[in-house]
Structure 1
Amino acid sequence: MTEQRVADLVLDGVGHTYRSAGQAPVEALAATDLTIRAGEFVALVGPSGCGKSTLLEIVAGLRPPAHGRVLLGDAQVVGPGRRRGVVFQQSSSLLPWRTVAGNVALGLELARVPRARRAERVAAELARVGLADVADRAVYELSGGMQQRAQIARALAADPDVLLLDEPFGALDTFTRERLQEELRGIWRETGTTVLLVTHSVEEAVLLATRVIVFSPRPGTVVGDHRIDFTRRDEPAAVLRADPEFVAFAARLRASIGTTHA
């Protein structure tokens, strides 16, 4: 792995309540204190509706917290920014009138990165995710898995401190999902970028993350913080999934999530 980034991500009492006119308030996320060290790969798991995606949106700067604050290093998060790259479950954030390369370059264009440097970064990230040969294709010509690769390349092109992933492989078939999980492991090892992943898959969390945070049902509260080492091991994902230690750990984690419903 390359040298780790220097900025820790800190959630200081971050919580959120949804309010709609004529409706009772819905507290989605209770006040949450969490420190994610630079270079960690952290997965957020828990039952549907427990505030995982809300937390990710707050960290991304896409939704202000109802209370608390998010710090990246010494800077408070107050809106979207290049230091945080975001990949969503659906590829609808890709612009259909742009080519694959044009989509990957978008953030760099908005940041006014010089053309030559921009082209260099785009080429490097497309090669990293295996899309160099389709750089000039329209994104709607790509498969779902390739579109997700394009989203990852776009997020990485800005060289973010934190990569935020909201169920990035949830809509894909099993074969494509497992292949992209393996590729994401490699990207994390190579870049050293801090990763925050929302997933409903316990196996995905154990395979990819160095740390798994478990949330209770709404309002989401941290009820478990598990450190694991599978991501740091060199074996292929298929070998790790068959490892008795992997199977046992995943079973214990799944059981702990189940108890949060009691």
Structure 2
Amino acid sequence: MDKKYELIKEGFNWPRVKALKDFTLITGEKVKKGDIGGCVVSEKCLSQEGNCWIMDNVFVEGKVSGNAVIQDYAKIYGEVSGNALVKDDTEVYGKVSGNAIVKDFAEVRENAIVTGNAVVQAYQYITFGTVTTDLLGTKDWIGALYAEFGIVPENGKITLYKRVWNTNNPNVFESVYNRKFIYEIGKEAIETDVDENVMNECTTGLHFATLEFINYYVGNSILECEIDLKDIITVQTGIVRARKCKVIRIYKGE
């Protein structure tokens, strides 16, 4: 088998790949003999077979094979194969294959699989199970909730948590970000000023997290809240952003 690339050293950095022949990528881009690609730990990280290639400032510690293309600042610690495209500032620790696209600032975590015609994007953290579609683009909140949190809704609802500030009333709490916005035990909290763009993660709306991540946020109380699937705007970065919720109780760590 003729090699399609060799490794070259650049200073004290990891070796880069250098093309030894011309070939065409699944993106339509042409690799020319002599082109310099991304960095690898060793030759085991990029297959000499197929038209797989790594470009730009990509770093691969895992394995890239098939016709997969890795671009920009992506980091691969897992496996990428098939006709997959991974680009932008993404990280892959799990497996990406098929015709999947992973882009923006998304992550595919260690035990997750992204395959088929999946699109993972816009700060999605795929952590559980197998993703085969564009969860955000299709607003598949059941799929997105499982992929990010391992949560399965019951009767069209989920339970998540939110940090808030106490008030003098033990049943009333203030929003961390807007002290005029009130949460009250047993009542609905409704935000009318919301960003409906599913691709925007840190913007207007009510934000909720699992107990695993709730301590990353400020506030001196934790509320247990019920969210209806129809009120979800997006699921990204370990957060559910919604239009409204029902406040169930104060969570006290039981």
Q: Which category of TM-score, normalised to the shorter sequence, fits these structures?
A: under 0.3
RCO comparison, higher one (Cα < 8 Å, 6+): 1
TM-score by length of 1: 0.23
| Larger strand fraction of residues | 2
| Larger helix fraction of residues | 1
TM-score by length of 2: 0.23
Structure with greater Cα Rg: 2
